[in-house]
Each structure stands twice: as structure tokens, then as C-alpha cells.
Amino acid sequence: MKDQKILHLINKEKTRQREYVELIASENYVSADVLEAVGSILTNKYAEGYPNARYYGGCEFIDQIEQLAIDRLKKIFNAKFANVQSHSGSQANQGAYMALLNPGDKIMGMSLTSGGHLTHGFKVSSSGQFYQAQAYEVDPKTHELNYETILAQALKFKPKLIICGASAYSRIIDWGEFRKIADKVGAYLLADVAHIAGLIVADQHPNPLDFGVDVVTSTTHKTLRGPRGGIILTNNEELAKKIDKAVFPGIQGGPLEHVIAAKAIAFGEADTKEFNQYIENVCLNAGAFANEFINLGAKVITNGTDNHLFLVDVKTSYDITGQRAEDLLLRANIVVNKNTIPFDKLSPSIASGVRFGTPAMTTMGWNQDDFIKLTVIIDKIFKTNDNKFADLQKGQVKEIGKKYHE
């Protein structure tokens, strides 16, 4: 690379990614093949439109690449229709909303503090500005979804669209219950599986398309372990046409065909026994990780996890804020994100919780023992709540991952 400034920073980031224990639940490490495709000459090509219906010449190979991505995605999700052009998870949602709704329509999604995403109707997001949004919460006692109270709220509010799916919810989502609620109020149902897409593909979480969900949106870079991007799926032909129109020309121009090629590669990788085994390990690791926190006396939201992530209430458990917990762990080379917990009294920028996830370190080869050892260190760091002590744990943290780097 000729640009020395950028090269230097990429190399710095490369070292950071190798030396830090990555526990951010939405991050992962992609394969060399995915990286190669993202860095390929495909970025040079304009291809507005869809395979065999483009607004630019010279798309014969691009068409085959995008068709492969579509076909592989349909196969792994057992879906009839797929759009692979969304630039991100947020744009997949924006596209799906444009296909299903008119400005001003009512939508209902999970609140941010209960574990939902900004794009599910939060006021600072376009989803909260273009549509009339009302949020549902998790149950105040169990911190799990309570389908009866969501039904009662939906009957009152009468949304045109119900959004299910989350960014910080550690339990199985019952798509069938959501379908019943949507049917009772005559709403469309959208499942945003951005976090759990990999689990669905590997049969570690039910597939919303098996329960008659109208539209499924997702990212491709979280548990699915592909390039940064979004996808939209449906089994309804009429909706599929509306979705294609909404994505292009509705909200996007030229698709990122280098990213779409990388998506195709990732979908191929996800269609293997190795990937199923990987996801099984992700979930086993998360279970062991959460259990060890509980053994050590910490409060884990919902007392455990069914998936790849969980939240620790660090305010109640250790009398520190999420922000402080994040800062302390960074000193020990551990990267997490502070996160609000259900009904959090602190703002999202301080927060009472920390979100822990296992997808990235499981890709690096970590097993349950490694996570248990790490939990003991994290617990001590939180209990001691001292910068110098946290700094001193770096060596032990590095020791856990060392065998995977040799």
C-alpha cells in the first residue's frame, strides 16, 4: 500500500485485533476468502438494478456473483426470496419498512433498554421519525418477553407492523407467539435476526420463516461471520417485489458487489458441518461463561443464556457502572461494550450493564474452559475496581489465548 499513514493504522488495528480479547457480541473475525472478496476489483463496477435487469452494461459476471449470493442465502434460510443488496442491517430494516409501510404508519418494536435496536422505532432513528412508533418492554420481573402483555399493548395501539428480534436479548424468541399477536391485530410481522442469523442457519435457534413471519432482515457480519452488510428475506412473492423496489431505487443506488461476493462466500461457509459445530460451540461457550458469572455471585439478566450473548448487571453485582466496567476491562486487554439493562435508570452512555458475547473468540478457537478462566479474572477486576490492578491482569488474559496464536 502506498498510503503509509493508512497502512500504518491498518497494521496497528491488526495488532489490536490480535492482542485483545474480543467479547463484543456483534463482532466476529471473517475468513481470508471473505477478506479477499471485499478487497477485490469488484468494487470498480456499477450494477444498479438486479441480476439480468441492470441499468449498466458489462454486468455478466457481476450478475452471476449476485445470483450465487441470492441462491446460497435462500438455501441456508430455506427462504423463497432474498435481497442481498442492503449495505447494512439498518438499511435492510429501512428497506423493509419502506416496502411494508407508508410514512406515519404505526410500528411496534422492542425498546432499546429491553434489548431492541435503534432502528425498531427509537426516536433518534429514521424509524422513529418517519413512523409512529411505540415500544414494548420485557417483563419487569423475569426480563423475558411476555407475549400476553405485548398482545394487550398491540390490541390497544393497533400497529401496522410488529418488529421482533433484538440486539441484547439472551433467550429464544418465540416467533409463533409473535405471529399470533400480529394476526390478532392485522399487522405485518418482521423478524430482525441481525444477531442470531448464524444460530438460525446452524439450527441453534428456530427459523422465523418456519412460523409465517412476513419479512426477515439481518446483518451478515455478526454470528453469520460474513462481511459488513444486510439482507432481506421473505416467502411472499408480492412482498419480495416491493422489497426489491424499496432497496433499489427506493433507498440505495449501486450495490456493493465486492461485499455481495463476500456475502456469497460467507453463505457458502455457513452451509457446512464446520459452521454448525462452530455455532454450537459459540452457544456452549456463552452458557459456560454466563454460568461462571452466576457461580461467582454476579447478576446475569434472565439468569443465563440460550444464545451467543448475555448481560451482566454490573451496577447491582459490583456497584460499578457499565462505562466503568468497560474501561476497567480495556486496561486488561478485554473489549466489551457497556449496555443498558431492562428498565435501566442510567443513560445508554453510562449504563448499568455489560454485554458479553462469544462469537469472535470462539472463531479464534476458545473453549468453555478458556471462558471460565477469563470470567474469574473479570470478576476480580470488577470487585477490585482499581486501574492498576486491572492493568496487571493483562498478562494472565494473554496467557489464556496464547495457545491459539502459536
* CA gap 346, 214 in Å, rounded: 35
Is 46 noted as a catalytic residue in this protein? yes
For ligand PLP, the closer of residues 114 and 119 by Cβ is 119
* Minimum separation from the CB atom of position 57 to ligand PLP (A): 31
Backbone angles phi, psi at 216, to 5 degrees: -120, 130
Q: Which residues bind ligand PLP (CB under 6 A)?
A: 26, 88-90, 117, 119, 165-167, 192, 194-195, 219
Instruction: Give Cβ neighbours of residue 271 (< 8 Å, ≥ 6 apart).
Output: 72, 75, 76, 201
Instruction: Give Cβ neighbours of residue 238 (< 8 Å, ≥ 6 apart).
Output: none
Q: Which of 228, 299, 331, 373 is catalytic?
A: 228
* Minimum separation from the CB atom of position 217 to ligand PLP (A): 7
For ligand PLP, the closer of residues 167 and 285 by Cβ is 167
Is 192 noted as a catalytic residue in this protein? yes
For ligand PLP, the closer of residues 47 and 92 by Cβ is 92
* Minimum separation from the CB atom of position 25 to ligand PLP (A): 9
Burial of 177 (0-12, 13-18, 19+ CB in 10 A): middle
Q: Which of 72, 222, 263, 315 is catalytic?
A: 222
Is 222 noted as a catalytic residue in this protein? yes
Of residues 60, 63, 13, the one with CA closest to residue 255: 63
Supply the DSSP symbol for 247: I
Q: Which spans in 271-308 are helix H? A: 273-295
* CA gap 135, 150 in Å, rounded: 10
Q: Which of 66, 137, 144, 192 is catalytic?
A: 192
- 8 Å CB contact between 325 and 382: yes
For ligand PLP, the closer of residues 357 and 401 by Cβ is 357
Is 43 noted as a catalytic residue in this protein? no
For ligand PLP, the closer of residues 26 and 114 by Cβ is 26
Cell digits for 61?
Answer: 459476471
* Minimum separation from the CB atom of position 91 to ligand PLP (A): 7
* Minimum separation from the CB atom of position 230 to ligand PLP (A): 6
Q: Which of 48, 63, 174, 391 is catalytic?
A: 48
Q: What is the set of active-site residues?
A: 46, 48, 192, 219, 222, 228
